[in-house]
Amino acid sequence: MPTSSSDLRPKSLTVPADSRTYDIDFVSLAGVPAHLRTLGLHGPNVVIVTDENVAAHYRSPLVHAFEADGWKPHVVVVPPGESSKSLERLEMLYDTLLPIGLERSTPVCTLGGGVVGDVGGFAAATLLRGVPLVHLPTSLLAQVDSSIGGKTGINHAVGKNLIGSFYQPHGVLVDPETLLTLPAREWINGMAETIKHGLIADAALVAYLDEHLVDILGHHSLEATVPAIRQAMAVKARVVGHDEREAGKRAYLNFGHTFAHAIEQVAGYGTVAHGEAVAIGMRAALYLSWQRHGDALDRERLDTLLTRLPLPDVSHLDFDALWTAMRHDKKTKDGRIRFVLLKALADPYVADDCAKPAVERAWDFVQQSPA
Amino acid sequence: MPTSSSDLRPKSLTVPADSRTYDIDFVSLAGVPAHLRTLGLHGPNVVIVTDENVAAHYRSPLVHAFEADGWKPHVVVVPPGESSKSLERLEMLYDTLLPIGLERSTPVCTLGGGVVGDVGGFAAATLLRGVPLVHLPTSLLAQVDSSIGGKTGINHAVGKNLIGSFYQPHGVLVDPETLLTLPAREWINGMAETIKHGLIADAALVAYLDEHLVDILGHHSLEATVPAIRQAMAVKARVVGHDEREAGKRAYLNFGHTFAHAIEQVAGYGTVAHGEAVAIGMRAALYLSWQRHGDALDRERLDTLLTRLPLPDVSHLDFDALWTAMRHDKKTKDGRIRFVLLKALADPYVADDCAKPAVERAWDFVQQSPA
């Protein structure tokens, strides 16, 4: 991996999947219509699902690009945030899109972050039993994580992401310049998952972030960010590629997530952002791993990388409350809490035999050495 | 194919599909729980989606069979008929099933006809991004047609089946004895599709029906019916097997359907049953085929088979109204109406160049020689 690059359009990546293999390409928004044609997709109709925040910046440029290329774009704008991952919003998408004369060949493009990709992707998966889906992720988190892997879905009162499909897109088109309008906290969220991909699978990415994370977070430098994005995408593509339906190693993507879900719940949803919670959860998971494997894991160096993210103080969260939340997580089976741990950097495994005192010591460490 | 059989449990059939290959097995309802275990499915929870009519006959026996085998069955009953293929009903299924502690391994069984299979199948396809689905088709139409091929879905105000998934079941389990409670008109609907499968792909099935249709319809004899069901299923399995997403030969299953959709619409939905309309549509399509291919097609013999079905009189339907409806069908492209025609028995193709006068002559024939 180059340690610096002025190339904002690196080479494409391939995501191998049983149901459909597709590429991740670096394409400017202006180049999206022509790129869709190279994917074998055609108009005149094309659907763009986006949210209000993203629409304010990128709706007009993308619509104009499509129109200039001879397409007839139909834009559906949903409110930003998790509340749009609802059956009600999905019904609105159906009611809006079916009357336009949608055909089975009409592409649906999701323009935005994870929420837009999830609800727009689920609509694409189920309209006419499936129309072509193209993700145009504009957030760092969507670019390095949620746009890759074919998960679509909505929430239910019983829990998050309980309704949905595994539905692979025809393509993921990334324009890094859309990051320039991203709020600072979204950079932290996205870099938390980027670091995670390095920790579970790519020592070179971790080394790159050791050197460049401060520049990325401090200056939002695309030259520094794009190589990290591409490597993080490559990890995600590799992990999900041959585990489309989450049977095996896809579980490693949950590194840091056992604590993270508990932190989000105990702190109160919306208080701690998901990426922040994952970063804190990774610190705890690194400590748990180090207790088992000792110096095979250079814990201090990796912890230092994580603490370069500006993370909220969660030292007030009570361990017993976190433990109870972890025991009730949907991934817990027969009361055995599952953690992804590292034997060494980039060598993850799933453990369901972590004793409560060891888990508590990991939390004590996080409490006593705040980021 | 045997011309008669006292075996109501013939050998299983395999449906090859890219996403999941599965078997159609002849199993009594009492044997369903044990059979699910041979498919690798396990409880304790199992979901049964059925409708009020079917529940009246088979809910208790199936529930008791599951309980006796150590399962914990959860039954959801929907009203009979197309109105249950709605987003509202789907939401009711989500709201009922998510709180029971559904896991990704919990099987959903659809017990009933096409509507139950479609809405229950779509729920299974989308709960937790897909749980195991097993169809227990109890109607002749569901057994020979709708339970095979992985189509699930619901209707929308804009049209039928516009929302859904292609989602292959883990298995289709057929108990022919459930046909004994089927209303007579449902036998006609099911036999229309059975004849269709013979006409497009199986001359031996047509010969069998030449000999046995009267006995099947007159006495609902299972000995006579089961061999026909199995052969019709084999046709459907073969046709959909390698055309999971309707790219090619799956279109042949629409034999008779161009006229049928127009007849249902012009007569007023619900007046002429779908199978009846398909039978009448096949008579017209046979006549259209014969105009092109002459005596390569033994039209009179095949027409005689169709007229053994007690069909409603539709001679009052105006051709111009039917023509207009056909031109507006969703399968019509650029005003070119698509018909499936036969060059000869079991040798279908798609034609989009039938001139209006030829189509009108076909309708004249149907009008002047009512079944």
Distance from CA of A52 to the nearest CA of B (A): 26
B127 touches A at CB < 8 Å: yes
What ranges do the domains of chain B cover? Answer: 13-182, 185-368
Q: Is A126 touching B (CB cutoff 8 A)?
A: yes
A19, A86, A129, A331: which to substitute to probe chain B, counting the most B Cβ within 10 Å? A129
Torsion sign (Cα): B167, B172, B178, B182: positive
pLDDT digits (tens, 9 = 90+) for A26-63: 999 999 999 999 999 999 999 999 999 999 999 999 99
- Of B57, B35, B56, nearest in space to B46 by CA: B35
Which residue shows structure tokens 């030292």? A315
Across the interface, whether the CB atoms of B87 and A94 are under 8 A apart is answered yes
Q: Which of A331-340, A351-360, B168-177 has the lowest mean pLDDT?
A: A331-340
Chain B residues whose CB is inside 8 A of the A328 CB are none
Provide the shortest C-alpha distance from residue B188 to chain A (in Å).
29
Whether B328 has its CB under 8 Å from any CB of chain A: the answer is no
Give pLDDT, residue B371.
66
Q: Min CA distance, B169 vs chain A (Å)?
A: 15
φ and ψ at residue B159, rounded to 5 degrees: 175, 170
Residue A345 has pLDDT above 80, yes or no: yes
A156 touches B: beta carbon within 8 Å: yes
Decide if pLDDT at A114 tops 50.
yes
CATH number of the domain at B185-368, please?
A: 1.20.1090.10
C-alpha B370/C-alpha B266 separation (Å) is 18
Distance between A74 CA and the closest CA of chain B, angstroms: 18
Tell me the CB-side half-sphere exposure of residue A349, using CA atoms within 13 A.
Answer: 10
Is the CB of A87 less than 8 angstroms away from the CB of B98?
no
Nearest CA among A247, A257, A158, A253 for reference residue B105: A247
B105 → chain A, closest CA residue: A247
**In this complex, which of B98, B122, B157 lies closest to A156 when CB atoms are compared?**
B98
How confident is the model at residue A291, as a pLDDT?
96
Q: pLDDT: is B238 or A245 the higher one?
A: B238
Q: What is the pLDDT at residue B2?
A: 47
Separation between Cα atoms, residue A370 and residue A95, nearest integer Å: 49
SS3 content of chain B, % helix, strand, coil (to 5): 55, 20, 30
| Cβ–Cβ contact A18 with B under 8 A | yes
Interface of A with B in 33-52 (CB under 8 A): none
How far is Cα B306 from Cα B194, in angstroms, rounded to an integer?
Answer: 11
Residue A3: what pLDDT? 42
Q: Residue A6 pLDDT more than 80?
A: no
- pLDDT the model gives residue A246: 65
Percent of chain A with pLDDT over 90: 87
Q: What interface predicted TM-score (ipTM) does this complex get? A: 0.93
Tens-level pLDDT at each residue, chain B (371 residues): 544 444 678 899 999 987 889 999 999 999 999 999 999 999 999 999 999 999 999 999 999 999 999 999 999 999 999 999 999 999 999 999 999 989 999 999 999 999 999 999 999 999 999 999 999 999 999 999 999 999 999 999 988 899 999 999 999 999 999 999 999 999 999 999 999 999 999 999 999 999 999 999 999 999 999 999 999 999 999 999 877 666 678 999 999 999 999 999 999 888 999 999 999 999 999 999 999 999 899 999 999 999 999 999 999 999 999 999 999 877 777 778 999 999 999 999 999 999 999 999 999 999 998 76
Q: Is A248 on the interface with B (CB under 8 A)?
A: no
Residue with tokens 């994870």: A114
| pTM passes above 0.80 | yes
**Which chain B residues contact residue A94 at CB under 8 A?**
87, 156, 162-163
Question: Is the Cβ pair B163, A126 closer than 8 Å?
Answer: yes
| CB nearest B156 (choices: A19, A94, A129) | A94
Q: Which element (helix H / strand E) includes B222?
A: helix B222-241
A130 and chain B in contact, CB less than 8 A: yes
Residue of A nearest to B160 (CA): A128
d(C-alpha A162, C-alpha A159), whole Å: 6
Categorise residue A145: left if φ over 0, alpha if ψ from -120 to 50, beta otherwise.
alpha
pLDDT of residue A18: 79
Residue A190 pLDDT class (50, 70, 90 cuts): very high
Q: Is the dihedral of CA B27, B29, B30, B31 positive or negative?
A: positive
Q: Is the pLDDT of residue A4 over 80?
A: no
Between A330 and A99, residue with greater pLDDT: A99
Q: Which of B183, B176, B187 is nearest to B214 (CA)?
A: B187
Nearest CA among B350, B368, B163, B209 for reference residue B283: B368
Q: Give the chain A residue nearest B151 (alpha carbons).
A: A129
Which residues, in sequence order, are bridge partners of residue B26?
Answer: B174
Q: Which CATH architecture has domain B13-182?
A: 3-Layer(aba) Sandwich (3.40)
Return the SS3 of A260.
Answer: helix
**Contact between residue B306 and residue B283 where contact means Cβ atoms under 8 Å apart:** yes
B87 touches A at CB < 8 Å: yes
Distance from CA of A165 to the nearest CA of B (A): 4
Sorted by sequence, the CB contacts under 8 Å of residue B234 that are 6+ apart come out as B13, B202
* Closest by Cβ to A125, choosing from B159, B161, B165: B165
